[in-house]
Chain A
Amino acid sequence: MIALLIRDLRLAFRTGGGFGLGLAFFLLVAVLVPLGVGPEGGTLGKIAPGILWVGALLACLLSLDRIFALDFEDGSLDLLATSPLPMEGAVAVKSLAHWLVTGLPLTLAAPALGILLNLPPAGYGWLVLSLALGTPALSVIGTFGAALTVGLKRGGLLLSLLVLPLYVPTLIFGAEVVKRGAAGMEVATPLALLAAITAGAAGLLPFASAAAIRVNLR
């Protein structure tokens, strides 16, 4: 399992691995929105939580189709399926690797982009916390979508259509945490729901993803 994690991380960091693409996309969104909305009044600060969360979500989406597609094309998914690794474990490790190269950098970079979007000072801690709790769910749900579409040529768009609706609860509660935190309100409820979504997704979806892969490999 650790070998698979190391291999996936190494592949991501090598040339053409796609590390940093999501982060760069996130940065672009956070830079472009103020240019479009304009600097006046408190508009920017008010929409900042939503923009940051939508940006993180789209940045996550960008690299999802790579999770299994490359392994499928070069045949290593077949070989992994016949190896002693349980498919559920392999899928969970791949989700973790995806989070480490996408979700974690997004979480760490978010405060800097909060400044660009004029996020109220009280919101920064909650922004990082909500992304840290919420982005693992994005990776796990995305892995499930990638497992469903593995083997389809040009499955990327279908993957987005499948996965984006499933991201809605994470987006709602994640942005809500930041919004309430920035306004100095109680955040416990959306935070608990956000954590519950992540825990539920991480606990259940690897089994569904493994089943989807087994069907797709036939």
Chain B
Amino acid sequence: MEMVVTDLAVARGGLVVLEGVGFTLRPGQALVLRGPNGIGKTTLLRTLAGLQPPVAGRASVPAESLAYSSHADGLKATLTAAENLVFWASVYGTGTVEAALAGMNLLSLRDRRAANLSAGQKRRLGLARLLVTGRPIWVLDEPTVSLDTASVALFAGVVRAHLAAGGAALIATHIDLGLDEAEILDLSPFRAAPGAFAHGPDRGFAEAFG
């Protein structure tokens, strides 16, 4: 269950943004991605999540092991907090959502519609989704946006418990999560040479159907 990334190059909008990225993520390990805005953290995470193909290199992710969390929470405003989680729990074929609600301190909000939650509460609900996926490798893009310090500490505790249970986490963030055991990978050295074009337009069709 380890994720091995070797010599990976990723592109956004047809331009290569990162190249030569390589790391290994083992069970129980947390890796924090750092780098200035626009370096390609989100693009790297989307590539690892399989949303877009890499330009070069390879990322070997064990099948059915990855849970991706993006900038957006993916919540439905007209569903309650519990209904939002139940949907994802049944998509991933896992059981109850109680533990996830309790883990992110959402039990008192379970019957509130997501539209009525505050930004921080929505974020916590979005992160609770990770707990119902039952997946070992978490790929998190800016998980702490709009969280207060108490919630960040709560989230760090959840990640720590996940690591202790043999999970792994790859986190792109600008702030200090308080995860002392996390290793830090600075992406700045992997910045691609300016103006490197990814590939011609014709490859897209084959990739979409392949």
B-binding residues in A (CB < 8 A): 2-4, 6-7, 10-11, 14-17, 74-76, 78-85, 211-212, 214-215, 217-218
Q: How far is the CB of B86 from chain A (nearest CB, A)?
A: 8
Mark out the residues of chain B between 25 and 72 whose CB falls within 8 Å of any chain A CB in the assembled complex: 46, 49-52, 64, 66-72
Contact B51 A74 (CB under 8 A): no
| Chain A minimum-CB-distance residue to B73 | A75
Cβ 8 A contact of B52, one of A10, A11, A83, A218: A218
Interchain Cβ contacts under 8 Å between A and B, 19 examples: A2-B90, A3-B90, A14-B79, A17-B78, A74-B76, A74-B77, A76-B76, A78-B46, A78-B70, A79-B70, A79-B129, A82-B50, A82-B66, A83-B88, A84-B64, A84-B92, A85-B91, A212-B208, A217-B51
Bound state CA distance, A3 and B74, in angstroms?
16
A-binding residues in B (CB < 8 A): 46, 49-52, 64, 66-79, 83, 86-88, 90-93, 129, 204, 207-209
Q: How far is the CB of A212 from chain B (nearest CB, A)?
A: 8
Bound state CA distance, A84 and B92, in angstroms?
6
Contact A74 B64 (CB under 8 A): no
Contact A11 B79 (CB under 8 A): yes
In the complex where A75-B70, A76-B76 touch, is A82 in contact with B87 (Cβ < 8 A)?
no
CB-defined contacts of B52 to chain A, threshold 8 Å: 217-218
Cβ 8 A contact of B91, one of A3, A75, A217: A3
In the complex where A75-B73, A78-B72, A217-B51 touch, is A16 in contact with B78 (Cβ < 8 A)?
yes
Most buried by A among B76, B83, B88: B76
Bound state CA distance, A16 and B51, in angstroms?
30
Cβ 8 A contact of B74, one of A17, A79, A217: A79
